[in-house]
Structure 1
C-alpha cells in the first residue's frame, strides 16, 4: 500500500481521517474496507492488492483513534453510529462515483452494520469478516450481555474488553508488548480462552508468555503491525472498548428505527470456525435472522481469516461480488 495513495479527509464532526484511496478503473464498484482492533488500514493489504489489480476502487480508512486519523480521548465520540457517519462523510469528500460495498472485520464489522442500519441507501452490499452482523442492542447492558453469554456458552467471552477499558490498560500493554501481540496475532483458541475471563488478560500478560509467529504472517509484516500501533499510541484505540463496557453504543443504537435492523441488500459473511471469541454459530444464526440476501462461507481459520485464508477469502468475495452484479 503506497504512502502516496493516502489522503487526509475532514468529516462534518471536524475529525481528520487518514484514508488510503485508489479510484476504480475497469470496475464501477469501490470497496470500503473497515479494520478492527488492534490494527490500521494496513490490515487490508492482501485485499487491496487483489482487488485493485482487477480494477476495483478501494477506500481504506484508519478508523478513529488509529494510524494517521485523529485520536480524541472522549469515548462518546467512538460510538459506531457516529463513526459510520464519518465514513459516509469521507466518501462524500472523496466524491466517489459508482456503487459502494462496505466490508468490515472485527470492530469494522460493527461499523459496517451501522452503515447498513443508518445509510443503507448509500451502499450496494455489505460484508462481514469473522465478526458477523450485530443488530442494534437497546435492551441489554454490557454486564447483562456478559452474563447471558456465559450461560449460553459456558464461559466468559468478553473479559478482555473489561481489561481494555480500564484506565491503565495502555500502560500494562506497553510493559508486556511482545506478549500482547504474540497472543493476538496467533489467536490460538486455547490461549484466547485464557484471556476471555474477567482478569484473565491482565494475568496472562504478567507472565510474559511467548508464542511463535503464525505461518500466515512474515516477521516483517508482524513488525510493521506492532510498530504502527506503538508509534500512534494505545490509549485512543482502547476507547472503542469503552463504548462497549460503558454502554455508549447501546445508547447510540436506541436512535436507530427498528425497521432498519434488517438488511435488504446482498451481504457476505466469512465465518472463521476456529475463532474462540466471535462464536461462528452465533453470528451465522444472527446474520441469517436479519439479512435476507446472505452468502456464508466457512473457513478453518482463526480471527485473522482475511490473512490466514487470504486466497480463499479474496476468491469468494470476488465470486460474491460478480454474482451480485457489483
Structure 2
C-alpha cells in the first residue's frame, strides 16, 4: 500500500497495533502525552496530515489511526464488526498499547467524533480529555438515528445518504466503479467552497451520486497528490467497511443505553464550520454548544469557523491547529 510521499509533509512513522480484536495501523509522530486522532468517512489517518507535526512539536505523541475497514487496518467482512462498541474498543486498545500507564487524549472528526465521544463515555478511566470536530456530543440517544432519518426523509419520499447506505452491495458498487470520481464529488459536495445547493435534493430511491457535482477545478485544500493518496487507499481497501459504519445504528443504540445518565466528566472541546451540515445535525441543532453543555461538565470552547464546510481540519488546518494546540497545552 502506498506511503505518503507528498514533499511538503514529513512522512510519519507507521505502526500496526494489536488493539485486541483488530490490527490497527497508526501514523505516529512525536514524544510525550498520547493524543489519538480518529478520522471519519471517507478518509484515513491522512486527514490529520496537517495536525501531526504541530501536535508533536507541542510536546505530544500524535497518533492518527486508520479506523478498522480503512487503509492498513483490519477489514472484517461482517456488518456487525463496525458497530460503535467494536470501534471504541479499537481506540482503547491502541491507546493502551501506546501509553499503558496513563490515560490518553482523544480528537475525532466526522464519524471519528462520535467514536471518541463514546470511547470517553464508555471508558472514562482510559481517557483524560476529548475533542470533536464537526459532530457535537449529544449524549446517549433516545432512539436509533435510523428512526430519525426514516421519519424526516425516507417516509416523506426524500433521499438521505444514510438510507442509501443501508443495503449491502449497491452503495459499494457505485463508489468502487470510479473511486476518484466518487471521492471528488463527495468531498466537494459538503465543503465550504461549494455553492449552496451543490448537495442535491432528490427522491428516495436515487443513488448517492445522482446529481452530484465534480468541479472542474477542485478547491486548493485538497491537492491532486492528496487525492491520489485517498484514491490508492480506497482502491485497495474497498468501501464495505467504511459504509458498514452506517449500518449499525440499532446496535449502537442498544449498546449505549447502559451509559444513560452518564456525562463526560473531563475537559472537552468542539470545533465546526458554519457551512457544515453535520455540525448542526442537518438543521436539527440550533446551538451545538448549548446542547453539548447538557452532556459534558467541562466544555472548554466551542469554535465555529466561518465559511468552513465539513472537512474541518483539512479545509482550515492553520485555524484548527491554532485551536487544538493551546487546548492540549492547557490540559
TM-score (norm 1): 0.86
Report matched runs for 1:45-194 at 5 Å.
45-137=49-141, 139-147=142-150, 149=152, 159-166=160-167, 167-186=169-188, 187=190, 188=194, 190-191=196-197, 193-194=199-200
* Residue 54 to residue 39, structure 1, CA distance change in 2 (3 Å): same
Residue in 2 that maps onto 1:314: 321
Q: How many residues align?
A: 310
1:5 counterpart (13, 24, 31): 13
Gapped runs of 5+ residues in structure 1? none
Q: CA deviation at 1:195?
A: 5.9
How far apart, in 1, do the equivalents of 2:11 and 2:237 lie?
16
RMSD: 2.6
Q: Distance in 2 between matches of 1:99 and 1:272?
A: 29
Cross-structure match for 1:296? 302
Distance 1:31 1:259, change over 3 A: same
Moved over 6 A (4+): 1-4
Higher helix share: 1
1:257 Cα deviation after fit: 2.6
Is 1:234 matched up with 2:239?
yes
Q: How far apart, in 2, do the equivalents of 1:155 and 1:289 lie?
A: 33
User: What does the per-residue CA deviation read over 1:7-62, in whole Å, with 9 as the maximum and x for residues that have no partner?
Assistant: 1222322x21112233524xxx2211000110111111101021112221112211
Residue 213 of structure 1: which of 210, 213, 218 is its match?
218
Unaligned runs of 5+ in 2: 5-9
Provide the TM-score with structure 2 as the length reference: 0.84
Q: Judging changes above 3 Å, is the alpha-carbon distance between structure 1 residues 184 and 97 closer, same or farther for their aligned structure 2 residues?
A: farther
Alpha-carbon distance change, 305 to 208 in structure 1, aligned in 2, over 3 angstroms:
closer
Q: Match of 1:21, SS?
A: strand
Q: 1:209 to 1:98 in 2, by over 3 A?
A: same
